[in-house]
């Protein structure tokens, strides 16, 4: 008949009790945060006037646990964990429990080899009293009952004070969710959960402490505008420092706290670029999905740039919130060997799960695929664009375009304001982004006197830099314009003339009609484009054509839309402002007119 090792019988039940106590005391701390209960009212509570308070109960059950190993084997006395009874807050008591757990986990079964069940243990109390017992009797009749008495009293105090704890919290408060479809034993589940915890480092930051519903706004200790609190806890615990910084600076500080091995107080997990790493970015409750994506991108970039770490999994979302916390946390998990459970740590993370707070799992096979799409920043060589016979003074063209594009950029606030009233507010930014991208191209592109090469370079920029419906319309129109210019080019190299421009613009306007039904009177950019093209065709005068575009754009004020977002936005805004797309185009064309005069 096999016997159970003393280590298993004596210490493992204490570890289970400590973890469960840590879990239901954590619940008590959260209870205070969410119900406006004073933590002190729980910490000083007792079951009876003749009994000690909650703090005292925690002191005693942690002492009972840490003293047992050295009573079982006095040769281990030099490893005694010394913790003075000075903890006051929930956070400090929880850390005391964690220290005790880590201490007991350091003992191995071999530390108790040679200790027999009949060996005598002598225990002395202050005042000289004491007793002697065999090892088995000491564990069964004194040490464990003493430990559980104080754990049970702690639980009972919290229950009495209204904390939502029950039998399952006492028996399995720290229990982990079952590994689905693997029929893993609770022992394996617990072991793997501890393995994950031991290989994870995490830090949070927030722009403000959370607002607890029903409680007045915090007073006196609020963060100043522009400040962020680094190290803030999930339960609204104060962080380690406050500073004014931008996102890159904040992420740099947070990752340094997690990964800088030079700081022994903060180097919790020695993760290196040789390890497989899982990154989890958690929304504390008040961060928008757009912002969280930007934060995640910055974390990934800095992990690669500063630490040469490329996560094998990136999980970003709202996993565990701190009410409306205006912040996020970064967690890094070093992938470790799970042993004999039949699945790797990554496979367990990728496994399907029905927990509502866990993002939909992506299969391991999908993660394993290598991305084939590659981004190229290279411009198309001039040799790849068929040369034309249309000639242009590059310096003059560059100057004219620069004047026009700068005028469009200066018009962005008005375009944005108009589009905010009658649309979704992005038209001005889209036009500005395209203008800035073309200006950047003009600064770096090779000089050329071939008009078609210059126009094609502009088309390449517009197709990449401008988004939305207006971006597509500009790209279609410019491609049609390039085709029209080539169709009307002379047989031998000659400067481009207003007549050639007019014919090409007219043909490109007709081509654009194949892709949009918009016509003058529909309150779109066509109300500026049509008058410009028609006037230029009739007069060969760009000044008059640009003026006609401006009149057309202004004429959209009060015009009811037939196409575009303005149709279903509603309201009376269209009575007050011109169509933003038409106004932006008119400003660009007026800029071209101004540029040609220089």
CB 521 within 8 A of CB 527: yes
CA atoms within 13 A on the CB side of 540: 5
Q: Tokens in use for 207? A: 């722009």
Show Cβ contacts of residue 340 under 8 Å, excluding neighbours closer than 6 positions: none
Per DSSP bridges, beta strands 200-206 and 327-334 are antiparallel
The helix (run of H) or strand (run of E) holding residue 242 is strand 241-244
User: What's the CA gap between 159 and 24, in Å, rounded?
Assistant: 10
Whether 235 is catalytic: yes
Q: Which residues contact 107 (CB under 8 A, 6 or more apart)?
A: 7, 11, 69, 76
**Paired residues of 121 in beta bridges:** 133
Q: In 3D, which of 70, 69, 71, 60 has the Cα closest to residue 97?
A: 60
CA 216-32-324 angle, 5° bins:
55
Identify the three-state secondary structure at position 243. strand
Contacts of 304 (CB under 8 A, 6+ apart): 310
- Which helix (H) or strand (E) segment is 330 a member of? strand 327-334
- B/e letters for 527-550, b = 16+ CB within 10 Å, e = fewer, are bbbbbbbbbbbeeeebebbbbbbb
| Nearest Cα residue to 589 out of 407, 365, 445, 360 | 407
31, 144, 150, 235: the catalytic one is: 235
Integer Cα distance of 298 and 276 in angstroms: 19
DSSP state, residue 134: E
DSSP state for residue 525 in the 8-state scheme: T
Give the residue carrying structure tokens 């009952």: 145
Catalytic residue numbers? Answer: 235
């Amino acid at each position: 008949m096999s016997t159970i090792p003393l280590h298993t019988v004596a210490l493992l039940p204490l570890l289970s009790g400590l973890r469960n106590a840590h879990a239901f005391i954590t619940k008590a701390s959260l209870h205070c945060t969410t119900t406006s209960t004073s933590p002190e009212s729980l910490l000083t509570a007792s079951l009876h006037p003749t009994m000690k308070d909650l703090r005292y109960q925690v002191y005693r059950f942690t002492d009972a646990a840490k003293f047992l190993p050295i009573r079982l084997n006095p040769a281990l006395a030099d490893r005694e964990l010394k913790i003075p009874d000075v903890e006051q807050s929930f956070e400090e008591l929880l850390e005391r429990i964690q220290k005790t757990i880590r201490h007991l986990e350091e003992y191995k079964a071999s530390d108790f080899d040679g200790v027999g069940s009949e060996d005598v243990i002598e225990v002395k109390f202050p005042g000289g009293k004491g007793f002697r017992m065999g090892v088995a009797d000491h564990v069964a009749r004194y040490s464990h009952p003493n430990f559980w008495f104080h754990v049970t009293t702690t639980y009972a105090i919290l229950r009495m004070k209204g904390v939502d704890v029950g039998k399952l919290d006492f028996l399995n408060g720290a229990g982990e969710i079952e590994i689905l479809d693997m029929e893993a034993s609770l022992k394996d589940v617990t072991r793997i959960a501890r393995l994950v915890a031991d290989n994870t480092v995490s830090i949070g930051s927030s722009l403000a402490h959370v607002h607890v519903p029903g409680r007045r706004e915090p007073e006196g200790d609020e963060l100043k505008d522009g400040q962020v609190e680094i190290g803030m806890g999930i339960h609204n615990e104060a962080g380690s420092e406050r500073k004014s910084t931008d996102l890159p600076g904040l992420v740099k500080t947070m990752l340094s706290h997690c990964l800088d091995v030079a700081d022994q107080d903060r180097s919790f997990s020695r993760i290196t670029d040789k390890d497989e790493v899982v990154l989890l970015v958690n929304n504390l409750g008040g961060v928008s999905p757009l912002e969280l994506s930007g934060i995640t991108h910055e974390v990934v970039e800095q992990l690669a740039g500063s630490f040469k770490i490329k996560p094998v999994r990136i999980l970003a979302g709202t996993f565990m919130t701190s009410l409306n916390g205006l912040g996020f946390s970064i967690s890094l998990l070093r992938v470790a060997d799970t042993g004999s459970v039949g699945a790797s740590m990554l496979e367990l993370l990728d496994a399907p799960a029905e927990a509502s707070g866990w993002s939909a799992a992506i299969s391991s096979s999908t993660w394993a695929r290598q991305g084939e799409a590659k981004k190229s920043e290279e411009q198309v060589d001039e040799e790849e664009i068929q040369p034309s016979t249309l000639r242009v003074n590059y310096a003059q063209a560059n100057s004219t375009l620069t004047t026009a594009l700068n005028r469009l950029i200066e018009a962005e606030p008005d375009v944005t304001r108009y589009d905010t009233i009658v649309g979704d507010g992005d038209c001005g930014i889209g036009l500005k982004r395209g203008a800035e991208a073309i200006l950047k191209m003009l600064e770096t592109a090779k000089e050329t006197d071939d008009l078609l090469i210059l126009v094609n370079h502009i088309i390449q920029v517009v197709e990449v830099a401008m988004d939305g419906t207006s971006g597509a319309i500009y790209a279609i129109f410019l491609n049609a314009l390039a085709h029209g210019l080539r169709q009307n080019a002379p047989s031998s190299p000659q400067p481009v003339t207003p007549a050639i421009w007019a014919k090409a613009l007219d043909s490109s306007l007709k081509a654009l009609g194949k892709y949009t039904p918009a016509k003058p009177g529909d309150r779109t950019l066509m109300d500026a484009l049509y008058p410009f093209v028609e006037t230029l065709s009739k007069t060969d005068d760009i000044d008059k054509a640009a003026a006609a575009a401006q009149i057309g754009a202004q004429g959209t004020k009060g015009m009811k839309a037939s196409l575009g977002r303005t149709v279903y936005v509603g309201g009376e805004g269209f009575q007050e402002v011109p169509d933003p797309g038409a106004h932006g185009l008119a400003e660009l064309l007026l800029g071209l007119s101004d540029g040609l005069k220089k």
